[in-house]
Amino acid sequence: MNKTKVYIDPTIRIKYSSFYIRGLYDVFGKENVKFSGKYFDSLKRASDPYSYDHYMAFVVINNKSLKKYVIDFADRRTIKERAYIWCDRYAKINFSTYLSDNSFHEKIISIPPGFGINLWEGFELVYNCLLNFIKCKFRPLVSLKAHILDYYLQFKRPKLEEYHSEVIHERNKPYVFLIGTLWPHENCIEGTNLYRKTFVETCESMNIDFEGGFFSNQDHPQYKLFKDLIFSERYSVKSYIEKTKESLFVFNTPAVHDCHGWKLGEYLAMGKAIISTPLSNNLPGALTHGENIHFVSNLNNLQEDISMLLSNPSYRKKLETGAKNYYLNYVVPKEVIKSITA
């Protein structure tokens, strides 16, 4: 009989944690995973700035053994020192062997990027929202309005299985889709935004049916530079997934603070042929050029890379299969949790 029990800190941000809660359900059984404030007082998250957006915490109890875990999903490479001291293992998405503080390396385990998913709806959604408000002793890390909104935003996310299904749609010419936010961060102004702009303009200059662009307001410092590529009305999440699945290939680049963004995790889950600029942070397994991703180090050659993917369906298929296999081996929630708690 499995006596293992998992208890999750009820103060966590559900939208960011949902991917990993699903993994806990899959590994330990949903009936053995609960929320409790009992084991997390020493974290003192309320006095630790930005901890709500930075990490989730949980404990695994097996017979008399209790192990403490942190999953850090923040964009920055910084480590939350108090959480690091508290835990037995500290899993982090945006970790770099060379750039993260080496005084924190001992407990670190590198994990791939996840993304928000729908876990609960209906009664279960309302129940968990209210129960965790109570288990926070009526003092969540954010306002009550923000607490409720977080659970609602989780509800609006797709179910994990929606990323796995295939969409086949015949078009008269190759279709490519990319949308992104025009980020105001320094590394995005100097890099991410411009890399995506180059990809969009290159696709538009070729025999490609391109759809997408950037979401932004007029206050952004690069608005005038990007104004011809700005769309004013957001795509729904459902439309984003369907159009991304239809896209012949996709484009990835490190985003805010050079992070592995949700897009990379989503692309792997959908088994897409990925064109990417070089990655900045560690991964638990290698994304290898020509096997499960196509790296482009010089955007001056981007048109040649795109032309190759357009004209070589067998290579696209190889990248798609490689991306899906990488997802199944490393990224799927169950495998992430197994790697953390092994």
Q: Are 67 and 88 in contact (CB under 8 A)?
A: yes
Tell me, what's the pLDDT at 233?
A: 82
For the purposes of burial, counting CB atoms within 10 Å of the CB of 208, is it exposed (0-12), middle (13-18) or buried (19 or more)?
A: middle
What confidence score (pLDDT) does residue 63 get? 85
Half-sphere exposure for 27 (CA within 13 Å, toward CB): 21
Polymer length of the chain: 342
**In the prediction, which pLDDT does 127 show?**
98
pLDDT of 2 reads: 61
Q: β-strand 230-231 against 250-252: which pairing, if any? A: unpaired
Give the whole-angstrom CA distance, residue 205 versus residue 149.
Answer: 41
Q: Which helix (H) or strand (E) holds 238?
A: helix 237-246
Predicted confidence (pLDDT) per residue in 130-156, tens digit:
999 999 999 999 999 999 999 999 999
Q: What is the mean pLDDT of the chain?
A: 95
Instruction: Tell me the pLDDT tens digit for each residue of 171-218.
Output: 889 999 999 999 998 989 999 999 999 999 999 999 999 999 999 988
What is the model's pLDDT at position 180?
93
Q: pLDDT value at position 249?
A: 97
Nearest to 34 by CA among 17, 54, 59, 13: 59
Out of 3.30.2010.30, 1.20.1090.10, 3.60.110.10, 3.40.50.2000, select the CATH number for domain 175-331: 3.40.50.2000
With beta carbons less than 8 A apart as the criterion, state whether 128 and 108 touch.
no
| Ramachandran sector of residue 102 (left: φ over 0; alpha: ψ -120 to 50; beta: rest) | alpha
- Spatial contact of 129 and 151, defined as CB atoms under 8 Å apart: yes
Q: Given this model, what pLDDT does residue 64 score? A: 82
7 and 38 Cβ atoms separated by less than 8 Å: yes
Q: Which residues of the chain have pLDDT under 70?
A: 1-2, 169
Q: pLDDT per residue over 313-322, tens digit each?
A: 999 999 999 9
Cβ proximity of 245 and 167 under 8 Å: yes
Specify the pTM: 0.95
- Ranges for all domains in the chain classified under CATH 3.40.50.2000: 175-331
